[in-house]
Structure 1
Amino acid sequence: MIDHPVLFCLHFLGGSARTWRPLAEQLGPTLRCVALDLPGFGDEAHRPGGDVAAMADHVAARIRAEAPTGPWLIAGNSMGAKVALALARRVEDGDEGLKGLAGLVLLAGSPPSPEPMAEERRQAMVAWIDADPETRRREAEAFVTANAGAPLDPEDHARTVEDVLRANPQAWKAWLTGGANEDWRGRIGTLSTPALVVSGAEDGDLGPEAQAALTLPHLARHRHAVALGTGHLLPLERPEDLAALIRDFLAAPPQTAETPALPPAFAALMGSDRVNSRLRATLRERMREPDGPFCLSPEARATLSACLDRVLPQDGSGKIDLARRIDARLASGTGDGWRYASLPPDPQAYERALRTLDAAARATHGSAFPALDGADQDALLDRAASGRLPALPDGIAPELMTCWFEELRGEAVRTWLAHPAGLAAIGFTGIGAGGDDAESLPGYRQTGLNAREPWEAPILESTGDAR
């Protein structure tokens, strides 16, 4: 539980610090909201705006001036979310002046990648901000209305339209032609800061599918909530629901994927003198989550994780993070010593094959592979296995996707069985075939069907044969 935190709030394009007033009222004493105007907007409209890094500089200076004495969080709506992600990367890179970041709240967030906006609409928005006053007001009204899933409270609507009209046109255009198109994927990488991601079900460009495909892969610890009947202006549309989500997030921040616990019988066997000390050390090392380096892009890692959930489903509350382990293996250059000669080296083969699979998902269903349901994912994997995916200029040829998918399945099983939890799941007791003093601790003597050695406690309760 985070005690008495401060929530710094960054608004959407055309918004201002006033955007956060309804949410601040709902949060009440839970935490103190400090809403900031980004350069070119609200009370900072005299500034010309800038790129994402410049906006992050502006916010960082305000946070340092505020000097929070305890933990703090940062919330960003749309444009503000991309700035929040840039700040989180600074914190994780060791910025001494920004210590204490305890969480991110990303609302209909602009992702680290360029925003998925139709170019025609972008150019129309650039054009009307410099138009005559009557046209600007008409377009500002339409802009606010189009971005809400349902009509806003009349006072909120009027205040938001006025915020759009007082925005600095240079800042407005700088975001649409610059900041929104900046590619921060490489710089953001994967953040470990806990994050609450909320998307509006009626948000056309940055709704649930876009968040799953473009933002979530960059967050190692996240919770994703979808607000039904809601568009892009979440702090204005659903302040009460949003406050409840934030309170829950504060009480129990999302953790990394829970690793599976070893069954007591297997854990006891692993710790017994029947297991060679070198083997025991190796098994314990295999239980440790790799901390890098990694080589796959966040988008490829997300697609790989979704593939592995279909190829080798894991039951129970915890699971082995196969994607993380395979990514670390690819980066290390180790492996089983061979590959298909027709495929490029493993790191390139995985990146290109996963890109091919994701492109096929978008072409077929209009969504990234991780955002599809299980049946649609299975259908695409069946097409990959039979060489029926479409060809891409920089992808893997359809007939070679069959080779890659065969490699993936083998890698998944090898990685799963290398973990002690995988061995326990199949009831394997061979680790206890002899300890450091093998002569006094002989291995198996019983050779009859389902015959069990006295030292073999049952690992699997549901089967008669645990070997």
Structure 2
Amino acid sequence: MTATAFCLHALGSSSEEFALLRSELAGDLDLVGIDLPGFGRSPASGGTTVEEMAVLVERAIGASGATEWALVGHSMGGKVATVVADRTVSGANGLFGLRAVVLLAASPLAPEPMAEDRRRSMLAWAEHGAIEPHHAAEFVDANTAEVLSPDRHEQAVQDVQRTDPRAWRDWLLRGSREDWSTSAGPNPVPALVLAGAEDGDLAADAQRRLTLPHWPAAELHEVAGAAHLLPWERPVEVAALVRDFWYRRIAQGPVVPADTVRVIASPRVSARTRGLLAVRALADDPAATPDALTPRQLTTLRAVARVVVPQPGGQEVDLALRVDAQLAAGQGDGWRPDGLPDDVTAYRGALDVLAPAADDGALPAVLEDVAAGRYRSDGALDAGQLRAWFEDASVDLVKQWLAHPATMSEIDYDGFANGGDGVRKQGFQLLGAGQREAWEPEGAAR
């Protein structure tokens, strides 16, 4: 099933700006454009603040029934997309299933950089009603590296003209100046940030300074031959970057089944639990560098993980990378086996001992000897310490596997749905073996 990408447009535009991208990405992602209030076919009465636009988007996503989805935000829509993504990953908005975010020349969470004389000129265009055709054309031409082809230029100009003057003014006077950065922590969702090489205020340097700090799992690419209107100017190049990002960073991770997504997104699950599960469901970056271990130690731990927790099917949780993050954060279980050093030192020493066996493909047999306490080495840990470490590391790896919501679905566990944030906790009524409530997923296939 193809994932859905909900697309949020720029100031003076509409969902029509994604038509070319939709065609280019057909079969890879299903692009669904959303007209923000006052733009395209959406009335300004829906509310033109960033908060009101975010709520409209959240309602549209919820009503769509999508269970595996991404957000694409262009310029103004980038700020809205970031707010929606933040509220999704915190569990606050009741949505689940967000896999990635794509930001095209995005307006940042902080006030958008804009020359005040240009702001005044743009405000004057809509002071007495709809924006005139020559001003609309001036806006489009000022935001493109080259004049668009006639059909694209006509559509882009028409979008500016049909913008509700109130929505236009409200973004320039308020929305672009709203500062959401002070209340937003780093968002772990994988993000692709694109900037036009010839953009003005929101070029690569601005994205590096204002956008990337919010997205620790982001990558930034500059699009040559483009200014600000990326979907109109370079749809083929943008689509290629999105496609590569999706298959390289996102599609390799396990997907939470749709029926489990719906339960997690329901009022039966608290916002805090939903947020924790949202973070656990994110795809791991295969190119990520370890924080606590060396690259070779991480490679060895991945080999150990494949022995301890086989994951057939091609879509794997990178258990070793998650354990490395656990070690770096000092999030152990609060104790260690007698005779072992601290967790990081023990892991490093054990993995250095096991690295040659992992390189030679002999690791399964070696781990059998380690588990039996009969493996001898000249490394930092003796046979008894290796045995204790392997038992402890196996628990860490299994815990990371079980913590993923896709695994919970696979083993038919939905105990997290024990009551949301309301006054009345729904809980479970049927507690007998083999009994299943009407709202519960059908269960694991095996």
The TM-score normalised by the length of structure 1 is 0.56
- Alignment deviations for residues 324-374 of structure 1 (CA, whole Å, 9 cap, x no partner): x7xx89xxxxxxxxxxxxxxxxxxxxxxxxxxxxxxxxxxxxxxxxxxxxx
State the partner residue of 2:402.
none
In 2: Cα distance, 1:102 partner to 1:80 partner: 18
1:48·1:170 contact (CA, 8 Å) conserved in 2? no
State the partner residue of 1:23.
21
State the partner residue of 2:162.
166
State the partner residue of 1:246.
242
SS in 1 for 2:5: strand
In 2: Cα distance, 1:178 partner to 1:22 partner: 30
How far 1:49 sits from its partner (Å)? Answer: 4.0
How far 1:433 sits from its partner (Å)? Answer: 9.8
In 1: Cα distance, 2:98 partner to 2:52 partner: 20
In 1: Cα distance, 2:182 partner to 2:129 partner: 40
How far 1:20 sits from its partner (Å)? Answer: 0.8
In 2: Cα distance, 1:39 partner to 1:24 partner: 22
In 1: Cα distance, 2:346 partner to 2:231 partner: 46
**TM-aligned CA distance change 1:4 to 1:224, over 3 Å:** same
Match of 2:325 among 275, 289, 294: 289
SS in 1 for 2:152: helix
**TM-aligned CA distance change 1:67 to 1:95, over 3 Å:** farther
Unmatched 5+ stretches in structure 2: 251-283, 302-319, 331-343, 353-377, 386-446
In 2: Cα distance, 1:262 partner to 1:121 partner: 49
Counterpart code for 1:13: L
**TM-aligned CA distance change 1:262 to 1:163, over 3 Å:** closer
SS in 2 for 1:252: helix
In 2: Cα distance, 1:240 partner to 1:433 partner: 55
In 1: Cα distance, 2:98 partner to 2:190 partner: 10
How many residues matched?
Answer: 291
1:262·1:420 contact (CA, 8 Å) conserved in 2? no
How far 1:144 sits from its partner (Å)? Answer: 0.3
Structure 1 residues 155-304: aligned runs within 5 Å: 155-253=151-249, 255=284, 257-259=288-290, 260-261=293-294, 263=296, 288-289=324-325
State the partner residue of 1:136.
132
SS in 1 for 2:26: helix
**TM-aligned CA distance change 1:66 to 1:434, over 3 Å:** closer
How far 1:263 sits from its partner (Å)? Answer: 4.9
How far 1:176 sits from its partner (Å)? Answer: 0.8
1:11·1:76 contact (CA, 8 Å) conserved in 2? yes
In 2: Cα distance, 1:113 partner to 1:245 partner: 26
How far 1:121 sits from its partner (Å)? Answer: 1.1
How far 1:290 sits from its partner (Å)? Answer: 6.2
Unmatched 5+ stretches in structure 1: 269-283, 292-324, 330-415, 425-429, 438-467
In 2: Cα distance, 1:27 partner to 1:432 partner: 52
- Alignment deviations for residues 125-165 of structure 1 (CA, whole Å, 9 cap, x no partner): 111112476x7222111100010111112111111111111
SS in 2 for 1:28: coil
What percentage of residue pairs aligned between the two structures are identical? 40
In 2: Cα distance, 1:132 partner to 1:434 partner: 80
SS in 2 for 1:90: helix
Counterpart code for 1:127: A
Matched, 1:153 2:149: yes
In 2: Cα distance, 1:436 partner to 1:7 partner: 52
**TM-aligned CA distance change 1:418 to 1:52, over 3 Å:** farther
Matched, 1:82 2:115: no
How far 1:244 sits from its partner (Å)? Answer: 1.1
RMSD: 3.3
**TM-aligned CA distance change 1:418 to 1:228, over 3 Å:** farther
How far 1:47 sits from its partner (Å)? Answer: 2.8
How far 1:85 sits from its partner (Å)? Answer: 0.4
SS in 1 for 2:41: helix
Counterpart code for 2:189: T
SS in 2 for 1:43: coil
SS in 2 for 1:44: coil
Structure 1 residues 56-455: aligned runs within 5 Å: 56-68=54-66, 70-95=67-92, 97-131=94-128, 136-253=132-249, 255=284, 257-259=288-290, 260-261=293-294, 263=296, 288-289=324-325, 432=380
1:47·1:168 contact (CA, 8 Å) conserved in 2? no
Counterpart code for 1:102: R
In 2: Cα distance, 1:108 partner to 1:42 partner: 20
The TM-score normalised by the length of structure 2 is 0.59
Match of 1:9 among 2, 7, 10: 7
